């Protein structure tokens, strides 16, 4: 069952924080593979309209590479310098890197729930929520997936389905 109400996803994820930590320990102790989770997540992703959500565009910081900035510049008909100045900031954690600027608590390119540069969006945006079947990204680690569950209904729903699949029961149930 996919829960798409963003407030409900956040509420449930926050209330299950201790349970998710216990689940991560359960998976690690039993050496359970992440593959079945990724299969579930990909199935759920095909049934989900991300444009009706765009929560990731409101709650994540997007790293941009030089190539990402160049693609955005080309798409917008601007120079790389203009895009860098107008739409990116230094990464607070890594000042030599760039992140997309946020404005009004969302990505500068978000208009309603639609990305104004969708065809030229950065790799981090294209790959979100990082659940590719053969992905070697941060999404392959259960701890990062649990953190992303509060933001992404796909991740939340897949995580809950994976718990059922592996027979996990929360403490006290």
The model's pLDDT over 98-146, given as tens digits with 9 standing for 90+, comes to 999 999 999 999 999 999 999 999 999 998 887 766 555 444 577 777 8
Residues 120 and 140 in one domain: no
Query: 9-23, 82-96, 129-143: lowest mean pLDDT where?
Result: 129-143
Q: Which domain holds residue 16?
A: 6-56+129-165
pLDDT given for residue 170 in this prediction: 82
Q: Could you tell me if 47 and 96 lie in one domain?
A: no
- Indicate the helix (H) or strand (E) that contains 42: helix 35-46
Task: Tell whether the model's pLDDT for residue 59 goes beyond 70.
Answer: yes
Q: What separation in angstroms does the CA of 4 have from each of 71, 117, 131, 143? A: 31, 24, 18, 22
Q: How many CB atoms lie within 10 A of CB 53?
A: 18
Domain annotation covers residue 70: yes
pTM over 0.85: no
Same structural domain, 68 and 95: yes
């Amino acid at each position: 069952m996919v829960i798409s109400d963003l407030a409900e996803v956040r509420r449930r994820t926050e209330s299950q924080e201790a349970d998710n930590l216990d689940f991560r320990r359960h998976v690690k102790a039993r050496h359970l593979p992440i593959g079945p989770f990724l299969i579930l997540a990909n199935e759920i992703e095909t049934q989900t309209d991300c444009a009706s959500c765009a929560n990731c565009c409101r709650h994540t910081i997007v790293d941009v590479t030089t190539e990402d900035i160049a693609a955005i510049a080309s798409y917008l008909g601007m120079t790389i310098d203009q895009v860098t100045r107008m739409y990116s900031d230094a990464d607070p954690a890594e000042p030599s890197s760039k992140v997309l600027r946020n404005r009004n608590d969302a990505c500068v390119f978000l208009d309603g729930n639609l990305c104004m540069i969708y065809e030229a969006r950065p790799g981090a945006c294209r790959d979100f929520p990082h659940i590719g079947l053969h992905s070697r990204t941060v999404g392959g680690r259960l701890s990062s997936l649990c953190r992303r569950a509060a933001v992404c209904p796909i991740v939340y729903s897949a995580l809950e389905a994976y718990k059922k699949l592996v027979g996990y029961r929360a403490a006290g149930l």
